[in-house]
């Protein structure tokens, strides 16, 4: 299970920080599932009880159009997570997933994740924070005027790196320390480690383990573009920035 589980950055972090917790999850709560061509993995408007990682095959995912809108269909290729929201919310499938080919999945249940995460304090804190942020992003994306409505295959603004950036600063720092090693000497010199931790503390940078448990540095940049437009008004001379 491990080689598929680490395809999710959160569970990759589990494996890197506390392998025994990940082993408990693998041993007690994961399973493989196969869906034959033209069979359905799930149907829209039914309650979901698991998240899926598609590691072989291809699906067609369909969402029924509301009111006068047309139905929407799009392909789901291998190495995709499906219905992740099930792990963090009470989730009802938005669309229907139909197997185009023979499909194989890693199946992860919310009860299994909940039980395993409680085995280690830091893993529990990180996972709780992630789940709360995921839920907040999901709720904010469900408002009627939202452009990107959440589905079984995508929830807007839930990229793992940005989710960590939104976590409490002390949790970001602990993730960075664990990723770099207890004293940082396993990856970088002490001075470089201090510089990296300072970047995390100041903001705009997170340090995370990748799928091979090596540290990666993610930097966030915010760009603001200012437009100048002329305003025809006798009271205003020059231009107004908008």
Task: Identify the CATH number of the domain in which residue 21 sits.
Answer: 2.60.120.10
Does 200 reside within a domain? no
Residue 124 domain boundaries:
1-167
Give the chain's domain count.
1
Does 176 reside within a domain? no
Does 198 reside within a domain? no
Q: pTM of this prediction?
A: 0.84
Strand stretches in the chain, DSSP E = 30-35, 40-42, 51-56, 59-63, 72-76, 80-82, 96-99, 103-108, 205-209, 215-219, 228-230, 239-241
Token pair recorded at residue 169: 């600063």
Evaluate if residue 106 carries a pLDDT over 80.
Answer: yes
- The CA distance from 160 to 162, in Å, is 5
Share of the chain above pLDDT 70, in %: 83
Q: What pLDDT digit, counting tens, does each position of 134-188 carry? A: 999 998 887 554 457 899 999 988 999 999 999 999 999 999 999 988 444 444 5
Does 116 reside within a domain? yes
Does 227 reside within a domain? no
21 and 117 in contact (C-beta within 8 Å)? Answer: yes
pLDDT value at residue 236: 38
Confidence of residue 53 (pLDDT cuts 50, 70, 90): very high
Nearest one of 10, 176, 152 to 82, comparing CA atoms: 152
- The CA distance from 58 to 101, in Å, is 6
Does 181 reside within a domain? no
* Higher-scoring residue by pLDDT: 222, 160: 160
């Amino acid at each position: 299970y491990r080689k598929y589980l680490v395809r999710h950055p959160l569970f990759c972090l589990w494996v890197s920080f506390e392998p025994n917790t990940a082993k408990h999850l693998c041993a007690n709560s994961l399973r493989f599932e196969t869906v034959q061509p033209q069979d359905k993995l799930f149907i829209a408007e039914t309650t979901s009880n698991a998240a899926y990682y598609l590691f072989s095959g291809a699906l067609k995912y369909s969402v029924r159009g509301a009111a006068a809108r047309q139905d929407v269909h799009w392909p789901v290729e291998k190495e995709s997570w499906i219905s992740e929201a099930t792990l963090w919310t009470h989730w009802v499938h938005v669309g229907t997933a139909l197997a185009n080919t023979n499909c194989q999945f890693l199946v992860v249940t919310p009860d299994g994740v909940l039980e395993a995460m409680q085995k280690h304090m830091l893993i529990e804190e990180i996972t709780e924070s992630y789940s709360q942020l995921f839920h907040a992003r999901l709720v904010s994306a469900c408002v009627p005027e939202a452009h990107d409505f959440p589905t079984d295959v995508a929830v807007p603004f839930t990229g793992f790196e940005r989710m960590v950036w939104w976590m409490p600063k002390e949790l970001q720092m602990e993730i960075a320390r664990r990723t770099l090693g207890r004293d940082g000497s396993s990856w970088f010199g002490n001075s470089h480690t201090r510089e990296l931790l300072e970047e995390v503390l100041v903001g705009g940078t997170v340090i995370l383990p990748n799928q091979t448990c090596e540290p990666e540095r993610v930097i966030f940049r915010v760009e603001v573009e200012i437009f100048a437009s002329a305003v025809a008004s006798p009271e205003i001379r020059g231009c107004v920035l908008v």
